[in-house]
Amino acid sequence: MNNFKYRFILRNDIKAKDGGKFIYLYVNINGKTKTFAIGYSVSSDYWVESKQRVKPGCPDYALINTKLSGIQNTINNIVIRAQLDQRVIPISEFSQIFHIDQSAKSVDLVEWMEKDLKYFSNKYAKETIHTYSAQLSKLKGFCKSIKFDEITPSWWLRYERYMIKRGNIAHTRHKSFTHLKTFINKAVEAGIIPVNPLKSVKVKTGKSNRQFLSINNVNTLENLFEKIVIQKQRNVLQYFLFACYTGLRYTDIKLLKWNNIIDGCLELKFHKTSKSERLPLSKSAIAILPLRRSGTDKIFNCYSNQKTNDYLEEIITAAEIKKHITFHCARHTFATITLELSGDIATVSKLLGHSNISTTQIYARVLDQNKRSVIDLWDTINQTAAQV
């Protein structure tokens, strides 16, 4: 598919101020060539051509060799992705992906994230773009620009304090850190920086508030569905209840087509994990479906996630349910109720499409907390009895 050759070279035609020779990457893709500056120079006495590395004894030899290894890893990843996609890589596209013609001192993290989002906009899922864009906006609120060589553990502490002042809880800050690491690790792969400067930083996960509906809450919404007259609210409640009955994420509900339903089962590939599953449908799930149309038609006419949550807030208020419910709470509702009814965590894990049962165990802990709350009611009774 691609005739790909590369090697590191010392440029003889350009001399560094220290008298050394600059290291360049020479790339030949399908007969088209290009060279990239690595950002380091060495004396030819320290360069080992056969190993494409610098000898010990050369200033910064460990740093240089680490960067060269990182560049090789990046090239290998690009080639592998091209092979998997079965497509030819133009030299111009390789240049865009690679981003190694600048040193860490001149590369800005904010600009790096913006370029990544622009370049991969047709490859990322819409939800991913939305998430990354939100993280980028938050980062720009803290600092308009930040060079990679300025990113340190102490810089992260300042950014974390900024998020705390904004009211971000521990779980939210941990997610921000995870997304930030994604882009920093991409820079490492591209050879921009040798190592992740935040590698030693540990950020507490915190507890996420997995809000869910009880069986009684779901019954209340079912009764409301029969009475609701505002069509947009009725539409949202219809696919929200279907999500409560199936545990499907918003994106999967939105993409669901009639030909995904076969013999009373859902056959689909989860958008988030790309895992194919066959899931049996309950009578409640089948009953809430709209009138069947063509097999290639989408089952539900879903609004945007934000608009869906806006209508859902109106519905929950009308149902007099005193909980903050978003669409994703339908998945938590399905998991929690199914686990409560069956006690079979392994099967619930499969129904949710979890690749790791430890993810499902979060719902078991939620149920344990509920049990604790119920038992605590006995203490209230005992206190009341003691006062009589």
Whether residue 180 sits in one domain with residue 245: no
Average pLDDT over residues 286-293: 90
Query: 230 in a domain, yes or no?
Result: yes
Whether residue 177 sits in one domain with residue 265: no
Percentage of the chain exceeding pLDDT 90:
33
Whether residue 90 sits in one domain with residue 141: no
Query: 385 in a domain, yes or no?
Result: no
User: Domain end: 75, 98, 121, which one?
Assistant: 98
Q: Which of 348, 349, 330, 352 is nearest to 338 (CA)?
A: 348
Whether residue 346 sits in one domain with residue 250: yes
User: Domain end: 171, 189, 207, which one?
Assistant: 189
Query: 179 in a domain, yes or no?
Result: yes
Does residue 146 register a pLDDT over 70? yes
Whether residue 84 sits in one domain with residue 55: yes
Place of tokens 């590191």: 8
Q: What angle do CA 116, 121, 125 make, to 5 degrees?
A: 115
Q: Lowest mean pLDDT: which of 91-95, 117-121, 135-139, 205-209?
A: 205-209
Express each pLDDT in 99-121 by its tens digit.
544 444 567 899 888 888 887 77
Whether residue 282 sits in one domain with residue 228: yes
What is the average pLDDT value for the chain, to the nearest integer? 83
Between 242 and 81, the higher pLDDT residue: 242
Amino acid 101: pLDDT: 40
Q: Lowest mean pLDDT: which of 46-60, 198-212, 291-305?
A: 198-212
Domain, as residue range, for 182: 109-189
Query: 204 in a domain, yes or no?
Result: no
Amino acid 286: pLDDT: 93
Query: 280 in a domain, yes or no?
Result: yes
77 pLDDT band, cuts 50/70/90, is confident
Whether residue 154 sits in one domain with residue 44: no
Average pLDDT over residues 169-186: 89
Query: 386 in a domain, yes or no?
Result: no
**Tally of structural domains, the chain:** 3
Whether residue 118 sits in one domain with residue 90: no
Whether residue 151 sits in one domain with residue 255: no
Whether residue 116 sits in one domain with residue 82: no
Amino acid 379: pLDDT: 54
Q: Provide the CATH number for the domain around residue 269.
A: 1.10.443.10
Does residue 385 register a pLDDT over 50? no
209 pLDDT band, cuts 50/70/90, is low
Express each pLDDT in 243-266 by its tens digit.
999 999 898 999 999 999 999 899
Both tokens assigned to 346? 């392994």
Amino acid 99: pLDDT: 57
Does residue 373 register a pLDDT over 70? no
362 pLDDT band, cuts 50/70/90, is low
Does residue 388 register a pLDDT over 60? no
Query: 104 in a domain, yes or no?
Result: no
Whether residue 167 sits in one domain with residue 76: no
Does residue 299 register a pLDDT over 50? yes
Average pLDDT over residues 175-202: 84
How would you write 203-268 as a 3-class SS string? Answer: CCCCCCCCCCCCHHHHHHHHHHHHHCCCHHHHHHHHHHHHHHHHCCCHHHHHHCEHHHEECCEEEE
User: Domain end: 50, 67, 98, which one?
Assistant: 98
Query: 85 in a domain, yes or no?
Result: yes
Give Cα separations from 93 to 87, 90, 98, 99 (angstroms).
Answer: 12, 5, 8, 11
**CA-to-CA distance for 354 and 162, rounded, in angstroms?**
34
* pTM exceeds cut of 0.75: no
Whether residue 356 sits in one domain with residue 236: yes
